[in-house]
Amino acid sequence: MLIDLNDKPEQLILEADVCIAGAGAAGITIAIELAKANINVILLEGGGKTYTDESQDLYKGGSNSLFYPKLDSSRLRYLGGTTNHWEGSCRTLSKIDFEKRDWVPNSGWPITKSELDPFYKRAHNYCELGVYDYSIEYWEKHSHLKRLITAESSFETHVNQSSPPTRFGQKYLPYLTNSKNVTLVLNANVTNINESKPIGKISGFTIKNHQNKEYTATADNYIIAMGGLENSRILLLSREASENGLGNENDMLGRYYMDHPGVKMAAVVPTKNWAKSVVMGENLKNQPPRGVAWTLELSEKTLREKKLCNARIAMAERNKLFLSKGVESVHQLKKAYGENIDIDSYFEHIENIIYDWDLVAESIGRKEFNTYYSERAKEFGGYLANAMTEQHPDYNNRITLSDKKDKLGLNKIKLHWKVTNQDKENIKKVVDELAHELSRLRLARVRSLVAEDETDRIFEELLSYGYHHMGGTRMSDDPKNGVVDSQLKIHNRKNIYVAGSSVFPTGGHVTPTLTIVALAIRLADHLIKEKGKS
């Protein structure tokens, strides 16, 4: 059944076995799994079937970082949520990502990779992926992929599969509207989680349409699946019975927020040993997945020995202009001039500019006069090694509430996030390892882009982001270390769960959607079992 709250129904009774706030990848997956098990579900979506400014504006918020993407542009607020603009790359987290690693403070999931494996496999169907196999050995046989490193190395080659990408809203709307067990409610903004003292049991969700008309939804169990940032926000806002927010008895709510900083880490210039047969990615026409591509990742052994956080490295072809050291030096000197910074490698920069004078001229010409003249600029220059890196979970990277309010009267988010020095050091070590391995194997010469002088630019204006909002309601066995337990139930509560990437204790080095869906299926299974018991 489909209800639109913007139609302002006068009388509306919303009651079910389970009430889910948020119809993105997690919420939709749980709703379908529960409905198939004959459990009644109310699925609340803050937006409509398609994008509207009215709904999207409610995602506006602030951040302490000048460079972090705006909170209303890095996610979408309508049916299907952020899957409406995801790129579709999928891979499982590695076994080591779930472990408590001595060299990564606050790491460790209360579940293991092998516990999640069967759910990852089922998640493949939801994300329209292929065979549950991410090994290069398999895909070298079943596609045209060919790895770069064949010798023994500290780097391994792993494959990422591409979803079409599945737009969860469009794809699963027919099922949701036709199922007798699902009531999909659009333009239903959850504004409060109702709980009275003594804490422990949730009695309902307060919801509002976009005209501020209020309704209530009640159920036996409640699930918050509103997205990596909003999950923390709604819990922080629900303070009737808990002064600091629901589930925040240990001041852990909103903390350990993480993203995947994307670092342009090195220019890789192939030698003659770089085999012509190397194929990094391929679109597959007649079968799922839509495509496959390999990335380089540090082996588990190397991560342990060198005490590193995880990272995956993809390489993209670039022309000489893009990889020009001279052009980079111009940027460095411009920055030094603008900010009156004394730099040590001044002579080297001058030399780089002289050596690459034609590329520097091309760069200035393109920017200032929109002219193109240098043929050399278009020539193949090498590969840009981009890394998606795991962040160290940091206590001070957190989601808080600002004093500013949205049009529903709810405090907006104020995000405190930065790439820590530990993160930067980790990235430098990964670059070091990559440069040594490719040089040792005589496959390429490598120019690090995270050398001292360039660090500021690399970690500020040149930094890219996964738009992967993780942490804030992290999973933990001990309530002192997190917000939800291993079954995703909020600590010290009987009937409220959290789904989505906000429960990740660490972010790993891969895109989170597949893990979000796998955890959602696992949560649905848990609720089905609980229902069976009762």
Residues found near another protein in the complex (CB under 8 A): 267, 325, 333, 336-337, 340, 342, 345-348, 350-352, 355, 432, 435-436, 439-440, 442, 445-449, 451, 454
C-beta closer to another protein: residue 285 or 347: 347
Nearest to 165 by CA among 225, 228, 85: 85
- Least separation in angstroms between residue 235's CB and another protein is 45
State the DSSP H helix or E strand holding residue 184, giving kind and residue range, or none if neither.
strand 182-186
- Least separation in angstroms between residue 263's CB and another protein is 14
C-beta closer to another protein: residue 230 or 453: 453
C-beta closer to another protein: residue 113 or 445: 445
CA 233 to chain centroid: 17
- Least separation in angstroms between residue 438's CB and another protein is 9
In DSSP notation, 68-96 reads SPPTTTSS--STTGGGGS---EE-PPPGG
- Least separation in angstroms between residue 64's CB and another protein is 30
C-beta closer to another protein: residue 376 or 531: 376
C-beta closer to another protein: residue 94 or 153: 153
Reported in sequence order, the residue ranges of 281-425 that DSSP labels E, i.e. its strands, are 281-283, 291-298, 311-319, 380-389, 398-405, 411-416
- Least separation in angstroms between residue 435's CB and another protein is 4
Reported in sequence order, the residue ranges of 428-486 that DSSP labels E, i.e. its strands, are 444-448, 464-465, 470-472
Question: How far is it, in rounded angstroms, from Cα 510 to Cα 388?
Answer: 7
Amino acid at 206: T
C-beta closer to another protein: residue 410 or 443: 443
- Least separation in angstroms between residue 52's CB and another protein is 47
C-beta closer to another protein: residue 30 or 267: 267
C-beta closer to another protein: residue 342 or 368: 342
- Least separation in angstroms between residue 309's CB and another protein is 20
Q: Which sign does the torsion angle of CA 104, 106, 112, 116 carry?
A: negative
- Least separation in angstroms between residue 280's CB and another protein is 22
Question: Are 138 and 131 within 8 A, CB to CB?
Answer: yes
CA 10 to chain centroid: 39
Longest dimension (CA), the chain: 77
Question: How far is it, in rounded angstroms, from Cα 330 to Cα 349?
Answer: 7
Question: Strand 62-63 relative to strand 411-416: parallel, antiparallel, unpaired?
Answer: parallel
